[in-house]
Structure 1
Amino acid sequence: MKQLFCFLILLFCMSFSYEALAQEERATPKSGEGISGFLQRNGRTGKAYYQEFLELNKKQLRGKEELRLGVKYLLPPLKKGSGNTAASSNSSASNSSASNSSARSGNKTIREPLFGKSLAEVKVTGNRLKGACFYVVSGHGGPDPGAIGRIGSVELHEDEYAYDVALRLARNLMEEGAKVYIIIQDAKDGIRDDQYLNNSKRETCMGDPIPLNQVARLRQRCEKINALYQKDRKSYTYCRSIFLHVDSRSKSHQTDVFFYHAPKSVNGKRLATTMKNTFESKYDRHQPNRGFSGTVSPRNLYVLANSSPAGVFVELGNIQNTFDQRRFVMSSNRQALAKWMMEGFITDYKKSK
């Protein structure tokens, strides 16, 4: 009788353990995915799921709210009666479109092949940039690699790293309901998580070959932006361009991200200042003992002077400096740069209303 009782207790414990394990569900985020998009993809939308996820995974996150690639995160248990909320969500965010994307209106999804096969489908998970339009431009490209840094025998080309950050930024903006044009394009690369990005000369200006001559190259992208802007200004009250570059200085010169605006552009100055303040707050939060020395200044750069929408020119760091190179070669850092710039745009968009 005693043996039978012990057996029943053991059976009960095994059943309870199995049920508990069955209810524990984990998933791994995709490259470029934020917490909201990750939870929606796994059928959990809303603030309650978001806060519960943060509590369950606070030791696994980068900072407090940034996902790490390759980590299996514990998902909040599905609430009874909720069903698959990712499939039934009626987000008020509008469909947006990139330069050559096609939107599926039924489920708020944008298809942008430039992001690569695994990330081509972009779910619009927010509406904080609904009604805004952006022209995202990565520096150099085609026959011009821009600045070149080195880690050992490996060359780091400015145009490749600026392009990867540009794609990540464009995707983040789309997820928040914005209309986004990717001005410089590479049909093959997509968003990459490699440390060392392969160099190529495939980049085009929205399909047109990029000239080697510097003035012709800059004029080409400005003319493309201006032609689009003439149409977009009728539908969007907030149109902004962003030019992404990587600086080249002496190896010993470590720099933070810094921002330029056209000398007489009120909106450009406000945007650059908002970006700088956003980065400063992020550094205060994630690296409180480091400080942030990024700057905002006016500069009469060709692309800022000759493109019609207000814009900001961003130097992401010094490609020659060992410490700055970590900002480029680590994909998580490239994603953080994109996310923080997106948050800067959101803040500036609110100020413009």
Structure 2
Amino acid sequence: MTNSWNMKRILCLLAILFCTLFVFNASAQEERDSPRRGEGISAFLERNKRSGKNYYQEFLKLNEKRLKGKEELQLGVKYALPPLRNGRNFVDGGKKDSVNDSASKPGGNKKKTINEPLFGKALANVKVTSNRLQGTCFYVVSGHGGPDPGAIGRVGKIELHEDEYAYDVALRLARNLMQEGAEVRIIIQDAKDGIRDDRYLANSNRETCMGTPIPLNQVARLQQRCAKINELYKEDCKHYKYCRAIFLHVDSRSKSHQTDVFFYHSKSKPDSKRLAKTMKKTFESKYGKHQPNRGFTGTVSARNLYVLANTSPASVFVELGNIQNTFDQRRFVISSNRQALAKWMMEGFITDYENAK
């Protein structure tokens, strides 16, 4: 009788212990957090001490239903966080990420964390979470700026200025490239406007060409940014094996004309043509995944544009859509769409860099 009673007590204690461990493990796996304004998945995971591609992939699996096929975060939504591995970054199966050793490699990014005030206070610190673009250098140029707002669209009485939306996408792209280990030169700059999540971006004429006022005259304006890129490239090409420039613009056509993203390349540089084609293929793939019934009608073509013909590094010129068209405007006014544009262009660069090796 006593043995039977003791056995029951032991079984009861084991059951309690099992339940306690189960609840503990479940709660550990269900740790959640909500993103802050302007945070993409990488920045969100970085803030929660979960940097690296393995954490990133695990996060996508855990939140498959919440993300709904998109790699974009929504404010106010609590996302499940992957469990921490030994309290440190879970990179390449727990091994040390080679980014951490980049200071000893020529052409590598020498900082694990980069401070770039142009991104705004909340996003100024950029943690390098990958080495996929180590040894590369990019010149990111948003169109127009300063005294020239570029194309102007309207939503009711609100004006949408091309230079503001192109600049926000440019900053997002630059930050994404930095996270992948690239060196990035932001050619057009606004000391006040960081990355913004507003639908309607405030208009200003503060933009400069790396601190120098932008002239109103179109030819002088284009000459200025090309000269700056060529000046930087003259030294950069000695240290970086892959240097590319990208010019971001927003088109202006009739209101009824809906367009996709268009890519233009230099007529005389094969690397420019390959880059433009790679970008288009990347966008085709993304549209096929996220909007399978819509299709992608963006094109690649050679254009004798001043900036493509007069910059030393291979370049691509990107028209992000028609600022007059109501449907295309969603591509600009919704911040997660601006982030998606930046992310897809970054992925296009990664593919092109791998193909160039």
Shared fold per TM-score greater than 0.5: yes
**Normalised by the shorter chain, which TM-score bucket?**
0.7 to 0.9
Unaligned residue ranges in structure 1 (runs of 5+): 1-7, 96-102
TM-superposed CA distance for 1:264, in Å, is 1.3
Does residue 213 of the first structure (1) align with residue 212 of the second (2)?
Answer: no
* Contact 1:161 1:328 survives alignment (8 Å): yes
Does residue 28 of the first structure (1) align with residue 46 of the second (2)?
Answer: no
Q: Distance in 1 between matches of 2:134 and 2:355?
A: 14
* Contact 2:72 2:336 survives alignment (8 Å): no
Q: Report the identity percentage.
A: 74
Q: Secondary structure at the match of 2:226?
A: helix
* Contact 1:184 1:206 survives alignment (8 Å): yes
Q: Secondary structure at the match of 1:297?
A: strand
Q: 1:190 to 1:50 in 2, by over 3 A?
A: closer
Count of matched residue pairs: 334
Q: 1:196 to 1:37 in 2, by over 3 A?
A: closer
Match of 1:63 in 2: 69
Letter in 2 for 1:121: N
Q: Secondary structure at the match of 1:133?
A: strand
Q: Distance in 1 between matches of 2:228 and 2:55?
A: 42
1:84 to 84, 88, 101: 88
* Contact 1:37 1:125 survives alignment (8 Å): no
Letter in 1 for 2:153: G
1:301-316 paired onto structure 2 within 5 Å: 301-316=305-320
Match of 2:244 in 1: 240
Match of 2:9 in 1: none
Match of 1:124 in 2: 128
TM-superposed CA distance for 1:86, in Å, is 7.5
Letter in 1 for 2:67: L
Q: 1:172 to 1:74 in 2, by over 3 A?
A: same
Q: How big is each residue's C-alpha offset from its partner over 1:174-194, in whole Å with a ceiling of 9 and x where there is no partner?
A: 000000000000000000000
Letter in 2 for 1:244: L
TM-superposed CA distance for 1:295, in Å, is 0.4
Q: 1:31 to 1:341 in 2, by over 3 A?
A: farther
Q: Distance in 2 between matches of 1:251 and 1:47?
A: 41
Q: 1:343 to 1:245 in 2, by over 3 A?
A: same
Structure whose CA Rg is larger? 2
Q: 1:77 to 1:86 in 2, by over 3 A?
A: closer
Q: CA RMSD in A?
A: 2.5
TM-superposed CA distance for 1:156, in Å, is 0.1
Taking structure 1 as the reference length, the TM-score comes to 0.88
Q: Distance in 2 between matches of 1:31 and 1:169?
A: 17
Does residue 186 of the first structure (1) align with residue 190 of the second (2)?
Answer: yes
Match of 1:75 in 2: 81
* Contact 1:317 1:324 survives alignment (8 Å): yes
Match of 2:59 in 1: 53
Match of 1:39 in 2: 45
Q: How big is each residue's C-alpha offset from its partner over 1:294-314, in whole Å with a ceiling of 9 and x where there is no partner?
A: 000111111111111110000
Match of 1:160 in 2: 164
Q: Distance in 1 between matches of 2:329 and 2:223?
A: 30
Unaligned residue ranges in structure 2 (runs of 5+): 1-11, 104-108
Does residue 133 of the first structure (1) align with residue 126 of the second (2)?
Answer: no
Match of 1:295 in 2: 299
Q: Distance in 2 between matches of 1:152 and 1:332?
A: 22
Q: 1:144 to 1:324 in 2, by over 3 A?
A: same
Q: Distance in 1 between matches of 2:64 and 2:299?
A: 32
Q: How big is each residue's C-alpha offset from its partner over 1:90-126, in whole Å with a ceiling of 9 and x where there is no partner?
A: 432247xxxxxxx884xx0000000000000000000
* Contact 1:32 1:168 survives alignment (8 Å): no
* Contact 1:42 1:86 survives alignment (8 Å): no
Match of 1:262 in 2: 266
Q: Distance in 2 between matches of 1:352 and 1:30?
A: 36
Q: 1:297 to 1:34 in 2, by over 3 A?
A: same
TM-superposed CA distance for 1:263, in Å, is 1.1
Q: 1:126 to 1:351 in 2, by over 3 A?
A: same
Q: Secondary structure at the match of 1:85?
A: coil
